[in-house]
Structure formats: structure tokens, C-alpha cells
């Protein structure tokens, strides 16, 4: 059966987008941070610009000015040069010029709440977007930019992001380390690096570079990232006190504090302090971004005392994660699925929207083709991910074309099932059971399904047990097995709670087959 999407713990891990969209979202505005003098200077790049004025020396000077926080007439001159020759400049350098000119978030006009890498209307267009040939061209173009702008950390971050989207971890790490070497205190670089290291389970490295930054105690965006990473590791961040101080200092806008206050609220929530958590979450919602919005959606699903509806926040840009989860909880499968697609197109290296989207497509919308495309995309960046492999096998096994079934079952068998959480062990056994039945290995399939049901019973996973029974019954109906009548009666007696919309749908679909 497809992995039931659930998120036991959610943290305010920085979202990782390309520089242009991050800039437009307002997450790089620097309040009072840029006025604090840093040890970095722009003397050398200034001299280079004075000696020879071209696009390369202009780019070096503007980059070093942004990283160090310094500005002078020569920097302004270099900016003017880049603007006058914008057609010869890279898009990332043009965006950086706009940032240094302090284009504020409030002054930007965004006509709707979508700011995507690319927008698509159909699953076919989505498939075109992830076409390997097209993507290789994008990577090569970015590599050439990095070579032409060796000292531009933004280009190296983008190259790392593109490599991550293809699961090329080593190349991605080399690129992100280059960016960190060039700009160890830059917010965009640090938050991108944090997400990179977390994506590849290198939590210690994320902590190391955040803590090493000279800005860690005075930047709410960095403190939030440190708190989130520490929480994943089961640690308390030493910057919690500094974070609380910044949150109450009056030196930052509500938007600049939204992730920090949401992180602090999450800590209080996990400690059982509803009152303190509520205060922090309320502050985070004064000017939320997509990350803090999704965080409270998760909290409100976990604890019904928190009353929250993300659909009320129409001005939040890219609210797709929160909306996907909200529509899923309401039983609106199509809108939930549409938002998972936009969520992925916003952050194409993330596997969470792929897992959710493939689950909705295969189990609830019965669109096996869409589910398989999503899994293929996810497996490009995460080729050994057990959940994606499971969902791929399930979507193939429940389709009319079993051509690729053996290939992905073999990949599933390479996973050490005993190393998985018990919920995944239950799901894996059920999916192996379905695959065996589809391959006419009936006795083996029945044995594996029974093992899944027994595991769920033994570990008191009643919800998964009910779904495993429903899936097993469907498989028995497909082969007209005599035991199907016994399981008809079991399914009819399954109790469904009011908020179990997915289970209710599964039961209704099966009852239609019975009747």
C-alpha cells in the first residue's frame, strides 16, 4: 500500500529557492544587520575595479560589497556599470544589484501568491519540466556562469541546488562549500547551506557553519535555522536566549521574525507550554511566510486547541505546503494534489511534496500515471529512498501495466526492511504482498499481507491495520479469491472516525466494489 503521508515532527528548516525568488520573497532584507561592521573589506576588489573596469571586476566588487556590508562611491559606480550593461550580466548579478539598492519587500508588487520556478497546468507539462536533456542544459549553463564569476557565491549556491535536484551529492557539496568559503556570513548562503546539509543528513555540518557565522547572534533568520537543526538532532540550541531577545527587541519587522517566533513557539509546544507557544505562534502570524504558515498548519493538526485556517492568509506567497495539508484534512483530494505539484515546483529538490503527491494520486485520485511520474522525479534526486520506492511499486501494481514492476520490486528488496520505522515495515510488507499477488505468487502475497496486519496489531497501529485490511481485500477481489468474502465482513465492521477522511474514502471505494 502507498505510504500514508504523515509528519511526526516539523521544524522551521529554511526553504531553499533560487536567489531571485528568495529576494522577491523579502527574506534577504537586512534591517540593522548590515550596519554592524564586519571584518571583511573590499579594498582588493576596489583596487581591481579602479585598475580595470569591466564586467568581471564590477561583479567582484559588488559581490564583496554585499557580503561585507560596505558601500562607497566606487561600489555605486560598479552598480551603474552593471545596470548599463545588464544584457551582458548574469541574472543573479542583476538581482544582487537590486538587493544592494535596498529594494524593500513592501515596495515589490507581486500580482498573485505564486512565485514559482516554472508554472504548469498539466502533468504532461510537469513531465517536460523535469526532462533530463533540458535539465542538463540548465546545469551546464550554471556551471559556465560559475566559471565566469568564480567569486560569486550566489552562482555556486544555485549550482549546488541544481545538483541536489539530481541527487549528485558530492558535486553539490563542492559547490555549496565554495559558496561558504566566499561568503561565510551571508544569510542566503548560510540558509541554503543549512537546507543542503539537512537534506543529505549532514546535521553537524549545518550546525558548524551556522555557529561559525559572525551574524548568528544578531540575525533572526540564522537563529531560527540553528534552532530547527538542533531540534532535529535532539539538542537545544545555545542561541534560544538570543533569539528571544531579538524577538522582543523591536529592531526587526514582523516578517523578519516570523520564522524565529514560529521556531520558539514550536519549542514551547513540544515542552507542553500551550500558553507560551500560542503567544509565539500569534506573533509569527502577524506577517507569515510560507514556512511559518505550514508550521502552524502542522501544529493545529497535532493539537486541536490551536485553531488555524491557512486559507485565510491570502497575501502569503507560495503557501502550497500549508494548503496541501489543509485540503487533505478536508478530503479535497484534487486541490490537495494541485498544491503538492506547486509545492514541488517551488522547491524541486524536496521529496516531501513528491511523497504526498504520489500518495494522493495513486490511492485517492486513482491516477496511477501521475503517481508514477512523481515517483520517477523524486527518485532522480533520492534514488534509494524507501518511501518513494514503495509508492512507485504500489502505483505500478495497482495499474494496468505491470511492465516495470519487477524492476522496482528489486530495488525495494535492497532496502533493509528491519532498519525502517515500524510504520514503514507495515507498509513495505503490504506492498510486497500486493506485488506478489500481481505476479501470481498468491500464497506468498497472502503471507506478506498477513504479516503486515500482524505487525500493525502487535504495535497498536490501528489506522494502518485498517488500511492494510482494505488493501488486502481489494487484492483478493482482483483475483476472485474465496477468502474475499471473509474480509468483506471485516471491512464492513471497520469504524471510521470523523476526521479520518482518507480511511473513509478507502472504505467507500471498497464497498462500491462489494456491492
- Residue 281 makes CB contacts below 8 A (sequence gap 6+) with 261, 262, 265, 269, 296, 299, 306
- The CA distance from 450 to 472, in Å, is 9
Q: What is the DSSP letter of 362?
A: I
Nearest to 156 by CA among 222, 90, 229, 75: 90
- The CA distance from 411 to 416, in Å, is 11
Q: CA–CA distance from 395 to each of 338, 372, 409, 480 (Å)?
A: 18, 6, 12, 21
HSE (CB half, 13 Å, CA atoms) of 98?
20
pLDDT score, position 321: 94
Q: CA–CA distance from 266 to each of 137, 221, 249 (Å)?
A: 41, 15, 20
Whether the CB-CB separation of 252 and 265 falls below 8 Å is answered with no
- The CA distance from 250 to 276, in Å, is 19
pLDDT score, position 120: 59
Cell triple for residue 320? 502550497
Which residue, of 82, 103, 124, is where some domain finishes?
103
Which residue, of 69, 87, 103, is where some domain finishes?
103
**Coil, helix or strand at residue 224:** helix
pLDDT score, position 110: 41
Which residue, of 35, 70, 103, is where some domain finishes?
103
Domain that holds residue 54: 43-103
Asked if residue 50 is part of any domain, the answer here is yes
pLDDT score, position 30: 66
- The CA distance from 67 to 356, in Å, is 38
Asked if residue 47 is part of any domain, the answer here is yes
Asked if residue 124 is part of any domain, the answer here is no
- The CA distance from 216 to 198, in Å, is 18
In CATH, what number is assigned to the domain containing residue 374? 1.25.40
What total number of domains does the chain contain?
A: 2
pLDDT score, position 40: 47
Cell triple for residue 422? 515500524
Per-residue pLDDT of the chain in tens (515 residues, 90 and over written 9): 666 666 778 999 999 988 888 887 878 776 655 433 334 456 767 877 787 888 878 887 877 776 655 667 788 888 888 888 887 777 666 766 766 654 433 333 444 554 445 555 566 666 666 666 777 888 888 898 888 888 889 999 999 999 998 888 999 999 999 999 999 999 999 999 999 999 999 999 999 999 999 999 999 999 999 999 999 999 999 999 999 999 999 888 899 999 999 999 999 999 999 999 999 999 999 999 999 999 999 999 888 888 889 898 888 989 999 999 999 999 999 999 999 999 988 888 788 999 999 999 999 999 998 899 899 888 988 888 999 999 999 999 999 899 999 999 999 999 999 999 999 999 999 999 999 999 999 999 999 999 999 999 999 999 999 999 999 999 999 999 999 899 999 999 999 998 889 999 999 999 888 76
Asked if residue 287 is part of any domain, the answer here is no
pLDDT score, position 427: 95
pLDDT score, position 270: 92
pLDDT score, position 365: 92
Asked if residue 191 is part of any domain, the answer here is no
> Which strand (E) or helix (H) includes residue 132?
helix 132-148
Asked if residue 297 is part of any domain, the answer here is no
- The CA distance from 144 to 141, in Å, is 5
HSE (CB half, 13 Å, CA atoms) of 382?
20
Asked if residue 391 is part of any domain, the answer here is yes
Q: What is the pTM of this model?
A: 0.80
Asked if residue 228 is part of any domain, the answer here is no
- The CA distance from 224 to 201, in Å, is 18
Amino acid at each position: 500500500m502507498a505510504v500514508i503521508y504523515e509528519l511526526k515532527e516539523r521544524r522551521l528548516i529554511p526553504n531553499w529557492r533560487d536567489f531571485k525568488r528568495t529576494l522577491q520573497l523579502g527574506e534577504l532584507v537586512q534591517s540593522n544587520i548590515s550596519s554592524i561592521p564586519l571584518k571583511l573589506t573590499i579594498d582588493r576588489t576596489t583596487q581591481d575595479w579602479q585598475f580595470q573596469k569591466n564586467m568581471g571586476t564590477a561583479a567582484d566588487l559588488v559581490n564583496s560589497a554585499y557580503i561585507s556590508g560596505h558601500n562607497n562611491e566606487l561600489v555605486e559606480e560598479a552598480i551603474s556599470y552593471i545596470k548599463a550593461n545588464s544584457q551582458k550580466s548574469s541574472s543573479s548579478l542583476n538581482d544582487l544589484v537590486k538587493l544592494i539598492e535596498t529594494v524593500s519587500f513592501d515596495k515589490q508588487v507581486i500580482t498573485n501568491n505564486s512565485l514559482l520556478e516554472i508554472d504548469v497546468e498539466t502533468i504532461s507539462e510537469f513531465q517536460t519540466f523535469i526532462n533530463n536533456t533540458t535539465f542538463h542544459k540548465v546545469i551546464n549553463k550554471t556551471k559556465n556562469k560559475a566559471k565566469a564569476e568564480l567569486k560569486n557565491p550566489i552562482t555556486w549556491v544555485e549550482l549546488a541546488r541544481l545538483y541536489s535536484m539530481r541527487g549528485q551529492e558530492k558535486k553539490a557539496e563542492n559547490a555549496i562549500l565554495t559558496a561558504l568559503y566566499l561568503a561565510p556570513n551571508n544569510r542566503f548562503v548560510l540558509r541554503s547551506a543549512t537546507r543542503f546539509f539537512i537534506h543529505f543528513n549532514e546535521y553537524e555540518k549545518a550546525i558548524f557553519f551556522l555557529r561559525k557565522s559572525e551574524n548568528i547572534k544578531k540575525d533572526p533568520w540564522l537563529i531560527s535555522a540553528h534552532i530547527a537543526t538542533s531540534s532535529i538532532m535532539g539538542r537545544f540550541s545555545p542561541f534560544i536566549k538570543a533569539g528571544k531577545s531579538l524577538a522582543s527587541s523591536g529592531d526587526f519587522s514582523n516578517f523578519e521574525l516570523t520564522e524565529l517566533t514560529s521556531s520558539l513557539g514550536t519549542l514551547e509546544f513540544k515542552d507542553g507550554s500551550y500558553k507560551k507557544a500560542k503567544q509565539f505562534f500569534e506573533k509569527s502570524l502577524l506577517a507569515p511566510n510560507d514556512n511559518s504558515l505550514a508550521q502552524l498548519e502542522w501544529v493545529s493538526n497535532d493539537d486541536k486547541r490551536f485553531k488555524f485556517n491557512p486559507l485565510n492568509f491570502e497575501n502569503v506567497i507560495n503557501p502550497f505546503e500549508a494548503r496541501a495539508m489543509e485540503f487533505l484534512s478536508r478530503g479535497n483530494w484534487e486541490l490537495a494534489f494541485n498544491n503538492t505539484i506547486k509545492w514541488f515546483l517551488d522547491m524541486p529538490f524536496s521529496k516531501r511534496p513528491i511523497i504526498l503527491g504520489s500518495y494522493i494520486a495513486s490511492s485517492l485520485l486513482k491516477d496511477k500515471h501521475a503517481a508514477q511520474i512523481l515517483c520517477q522525479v523524486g527518485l532522480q534526486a533520492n534514488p534509494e529512498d524507501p518511501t518513494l520506492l514503495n509508492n512507485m511499486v504500489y502505483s505500478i501494481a495497482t495499474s494496468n501495466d505491470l511492465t516495470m514492476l519487477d524492476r522496482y520490486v528489486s530495488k525495494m528488496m535492497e532496502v533493509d526492511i528491519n532498519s525502517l520505522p515500524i510504520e514503514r515495515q507495515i507498509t513495505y510488507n503490504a506492498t510486497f504482498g500486493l506485488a506478489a499477488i500481481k505476479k501470481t505468487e498468491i500464497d506468498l502475497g497472502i503471507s506478506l499481507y498477513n504479516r503486515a496486519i500482524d505487525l500493525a496489531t502487535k504495535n497498536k497501529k490501528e489506522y494502518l491495520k485498517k488500511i492494510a485490511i482494505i488493501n488486502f481485500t481489494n487484492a483478493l477481489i482482483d483475483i476472485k479469491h474465496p477468502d474475499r468474502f471473509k474480509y468483506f465482513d471485516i471491512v464492513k465492521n471497520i469504524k471510521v472516525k470523523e476526521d479520518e477522511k482518507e480511511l473513509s474514502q478507502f472504505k467507500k471505494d471498497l464497498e462500491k466494489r462489494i456491492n
